[in-house]
Amino acid sequence: MNTEIHEPATGSASPLRSGNFILLIAGQGLSLFGNTMLRFATSMWVLDKTGSATVFASLLSISIIPTILLMPFGGVIADRVNRRTMMVALDAISGCVVLAATLAFGFMETHTIVSIAVLLIALSALDALESPTVSAAIPQMLGHKDAVLLRRAQAISSQVNSIMQIIPTFAGGALYALIGIRTMMGATTLCFFVTASLECFIKLGNVHHHHEITKAGKTKPSSDKQSMLKVFLADIRDAAVFLKANPTLLELLAVTAALNFFLNGVSSVGSPYIIRTALNFGADVYGYSDGIMSVVSLLDTLLTTALAAKLFMRHMPATVYAAALCFAPIAVVFALPVSRWIKLVTFIAAFCLITLSIDFANIISAPTLMMLIPNELMGKIGAFISTISLCATPLGQMVYGLLFDRMTVAPIMAGTGICLAIGAFALTPMCRKFGDEGTGKS
């Protein structure tokens, strides 16, 4: 199903300097700031109370389920409503949800883990509706035919996100110890409400539907007089038909799912568990460590911005190989009888290099996906792809949670590096299909 998108004129020589793009990136950065603070506080609280990687991983995995289930709905909505209105409403609702949880936290001390789980599930459901909207709004503003422009936009977005994660990660441990989880939840509430206010000033045209996708991936006129259920099912069918007609997208989807399985398992479960439980450091040290990695991620995005015009799909296997290699020093040092500080420094240094490698991979792959998907189908197909790849995330978190509770760090890190190296080898033939402009034509 195709759409006709009426885009406002930005009045700026560069779309990356337009008010629309600046407001969108600023709003999402502020929202991420609050989200990072919230997830840091809840993670520290759960680990402090349980000390179990399995419980921690289970909580993370359960919170992702609504995202997996609702992402397709979010994609359909993103292609059928005013995207600015959708973003404003969802961020305002997120603020209300966190506010309610903040007020309820003190009255439910015996059921706090359950209340945290409910909060994360609710935010996950809202994010499932908002993420496709934001993803579709960026190419709507910028167009999706210029690979370099999209890579620079992706790099700018990553820069802002890194900056907005530095303060809550660096200061998160101290804030958690000084002001507690409830005050940090209150700060998150404020971030969501301010984000919604900023998004009110974004200008995006409405999306009008009058086409459907044929089995060959072509479009044809269709009637707008359909029930909501029929509309949803038709849009999901259109996304499936388009993906079937474009096997390159399916190959990229499989790669994304595999990377999510390994890297989300290590970063979301392994990092806090290794620092807080395996090495027995406090929340302040974890916060400083996470902050250092956020600063490095910011420097990474500055580098990827400068190199945006020289990054192509043929380079992606090398970035995955580099990430795989960086797991080796972690495995070695955790197998040796050295001090926990040496292990911590080695882990942080290696993980910073892993982050650099994966940032390059993301800057390369995300714009390529945007160029392969028509702008008018970006919401539903982007959501479809995200849903499938996200299915690997809770599985990876659960697997790594079980592994860390039953094995030492060294074999887990070594096994992860070997699996990524095998993945990079399998990825090489697919990446050779792409030309330098990411069109899939060599």
What does each C-alpha distance from 49 to 56, 185, 274 come to in angstroms?
10, 18, 16
Strand partners, 387: none
For the stretch 365-368, contacts whose Cβ atoms lie closer than 8 Å and that sit 24 or more positions apart, written own/partner, are 365/252, 365/255, 365/256, 365/313, 365/316, 366/150, 366/154, 367/147, 367/150, 367/151, 367/153, 367/154, 367/438, 368/147, 368/252, 368/313, 368/434, 368/438
User: What type of residue sits at position 101?
Assistant: A
Q: What are phi and psi of 434, to 5 degrees?
A: -90, 140
Strand partners, 207: 5
Read off the pLDDT of each residue in 266-280 and give the average, rounded to a whole number: 84
pLDDT, tens only, 203-225: 876 655 544 544 444 444 444 44
pLDDT, tens only, 47-101: 777 766 667 667 777 777 787 778 777 777 777 778 888 889 999 999 999 998 8
Q: What is the pLDDT of residue 206?
A: 62
Query: Rounded to an integer, what distance in angstroms lies between the CA atom of residue 402 and that of residue 54?
Result: 6
Query: Rounded to an integer, what distance in angstroms lies between the CA atom of residue 70 and that of residue 59?
Result: 18
pLDDT, tens only, 380-409: 776 777 777 677 777 787 888 888 888 899
153 C-beta neighbours (distance < 10 Å), count: 25
201 C-beta neighbours (distance < 10 Å), count: 12
How much is the pTM?
Answer: 0.60
Which is more confident, 3 or 185?
A: 185
Question: 161: pLDDT confidence band, cut at 50, 70 and 90?
Answer: confident
Q: What is the pLDDT of residue 12?
A: 45
Question: 104: pLDDT confidence band, cut at 50, 70 and 90?
Answer: confident
Strand partners, 4: 208
Q: What is the pLDDT of residue 223?
A: 45
Q: Which of 119, 10, 125 is closest to 65 using CA atoms?
A: 125
Determine contact, residues 124/64, Cβ cutoff 8 Å: yes
Question: 239: pLDDT confidence band, cut at 50, 70 and 90?
Answer: confident
Q: What is the pLDDT of residue 5?
A: 35
Determine contact, residues 143/16, Cβ cutoff 8 Å: no
Query: Rounded to an integer, what distance in angstroms lies between the CA atom of residue 236 and that of residue 214?
Result: 13
